[in-house]
Structure 1
């Protein structure tokens, strides 16, 4: 199999270079000296993890309330139709009034008195309305954004196959929805010496036993047979296991829930490659005839006999 052109990662590499694509599909790239762009804020908020997003909301809510509570406290809590008490209790009153104003809730027990307090509370109410409108849009964007739901096995295996050898990995649908016509492309990236004696990346598109199926209700074992056309045909098992290489994977399928095509990337370092092993079946039938898919067995392997 002939080399292919750089798919976009560049030929340059180093002996200590890490994998190009992380296991979650993100590029393993650190940006430096990059100018801040306001247009990137939306993308960052949409794509960050749910845990970080929720934490950011709580931080935004807490910091704003502390800021405005401090303003009300400095102005004087007597302007909030409450009787002055201890400094701690006065600040709590100011904080809870701020929370009611920011959320436009307003129980009516505390209300602003005087022009200064009324001006600050009106500004806070405006910020609250805009902030919650923005959060509503972000929540909708996060829920409505099409996301692939493919789980990849933690390992790939090297084993005998049809009187030859093959490299295999397995994937499954994390959801119970229908995945239509999933299609996969696998590129092998090998760090090797080029014609000039320099360390460089070489790219090969691997032929697969099947690169497209109609549906994915259970598991799919993706197989690259090491035949006469394979870039690995001249390597022994030991040499393959020792290769400084990476499999770059791109899968596309029609997502029924979102009514459009979605994409997902993944990669395997050859450090994840297990020799003379096979996957344990994750799909089987009960005595009643019910088909069972055990998600816990996706990455489970055993020795090949």
Structure 2
């Protein structure tokens, strides 16, 4: 029996030219409009951006803060820190370097505040520097300690003959040396189809898999959905399947011994990406010492399938 289900959370609304629901990085292909911004969401934003943008933003903020305090020292009078050079640019550089030393609490001793006002501003800046460094340190720890899935999905989705019938399959691998405990997976087929009114809507089907759960995953796992009488794709030819406006939404979870908690991973494949009559190349074998060897270079490899 075909297992048609209700909306799992992505919505029934669709359009003739609707793009994929999930991006290749596992995030939802969703654009926000008139979404309120809150300062409390800054931590979530800074923890989830890439390392490149995180450090770029950190250095930019540090530069701007020190440039602002350098201007304040110039307004107060550079003579309260160091002897004026006669050049505005050189005085700004001296004020900027003094601000950097104060902000980082390094204090080389070559420059120091000589007045009450400059001393007060330097004290405020040093306190602000300590707060910002503590904040950045907490963010770095949060980024490192955040549980992240080690699952890597194959680039290709395969559609081929299987067990006197047909099957659609993909495979995944553990990208770490740690063992995934009790990995389990569910695959939902989302088909965008016109209704009686001619409007496009999403229909959802929970696909029956050869195996939904295994005990552990040290190497690879090929996930198989047979196109039998219980499959919504049973009576559809291979050429028609790749023309469907459909997407496989995959949810995988497992217990990660590194983080001591359950970790989740979401991925998707478009039906029009399926490779017909191909199979995955063997990515693991035994060496002469009898040890099982997993070759990650062969994980994505596919080859023509001959029945």
Which bracket does the TM-score occupy, shorter chain normalised?
over 0.9
1:192-213 C-alpha deviation (Å, 9 max, x unpaired):
1224432111100001001111
Question: Runs of 4+ in structure 1 displaced over 6 angstroms?
Answer: none
Instruction: Quote the residue 1:253 is aligned against.
Output: 254
Which shifted more, 214-223 or 72-81?
Answer: 72-81
SS in 2 for 1:125: helix
Instruction: Quote the residue 1:11 is aligned against.
Output: 12
Instruction: Quote the residue 1:159 is aligned against.
Output: 160
1:108-137 C-alpha deviation (Å, 9 max, x unpaired):
111011122112111111111110111111
Q: How does 1:64-79 map to 2 (within 5 A)?
A: 64-79=65-80
Aligned residues: 305
User: Structure 1: which 5+ runs fail to align?
Assistant: none
1:16-55 C-alpha deviation (Å, 9 max, x unpaired):
1111111211111000111111221111111111111111
| Alpha-carbon distance, 1:94 to partner | 1.0
Instruction: Quote the residue 2:50 is aligned against.
Output: 49
Q: Is 1:264 equivalent to 2:272 in the alignment? A: no
Matched-pair contact (CA < 8 Å) for 2:241–2:272: no
SS in 2 for 1:302: strand
Matched-pair contact (CA < 8 Å) for 1:154–1:272: no
SS in 2 for 1:53: helix
Instruction: Quote the residue 1:239 is aligned against.
Output: 240
| Alpha-carbon distance, 1:85 to partner | 4.7
| Alpha-carbon distance, 1:269 to partner | 1.3
Instruction: Quote the residue 2:182 is aligned against.
Output: 181
Instruction: Quote the residue 2:227 is aligned against.
Output: 226
Instruction: Quote the residue 2:88 is aligned against.
Output: 87
| Alpha-carbon distance, 1:83 to partner | 4.8
Matched-pair contact (CA < 8 Å) for 2:227–2:234: yes
SS in 2 for 1:81: coil
| Alpha-carbon distance, 1:191 to partner | 0.9
Structure 1: distance between partners of 2:122 and 2:211 = 64
Instruction: Quote the residue 2:112 is aligned against.
Output: 111
Instruction: Quote the residue 1:32 is aligned against.
Output: 33
Structure 2: distance between partners of 1:2 and 1:262 = 27
TM-score normalised by structure 2 residue count? 0.96
RMSD of aligned Cα (Å):
1.3
Structure 1: distance between partners of 2:275 and 2:81 = 69
